[in-house]
Amino acid sequence: MADVKNFDSDCLFCKILKGDIPSTKVYEDELCYAFRDIAPQAPTHILVIPKEHIASAAELSAAENAALAAHILAVLPRIAAAEGLTGGWRIVSNVGPDAGQTVPHLHFHILGGQRLSDRMA
């Protein structure tokens, strides 16, 4: 499917990018890939991942990958609009196990399609 920069053979999302594990694609370009979450926590739950293995947002740096992060942030509203999320949507990126990150590959959740809880910020 895709070339993955810094491919990690133990990473679930790297395997999805390589096509070794199936996913339901929502969006793809040269830098990122978006697919439906297999355990959605909202009517619309999409994961957006870079085509480069970066463990989490804690590894982002201005010198190395600021352009990649900016690109993904610019793609998020396009995906949300294509999904019809006109009433609002949430972006979540967990960093580390204490925050609930279960896959150590940078990813952004797009959640929407209903009113989301005010308790989760």
The residues that are catalytic are 107
Would you say 55 and 105 are in contact if contact means Cβ atoms under 8 Å apart? yes
List the 44-50 sheet strands across, edge first.
25-28, 32-36, 44-50, 108-112, 89-92
Residue 45 pairs with which residues in a beta bridge?
111
Would you say 20 and 89 are in contact if contact means Cβ atoms under 8 Å apart? no
Query: How far is residue 38's CA from residue 99's CA, in Å, rounded to a whole number?
Result: 20
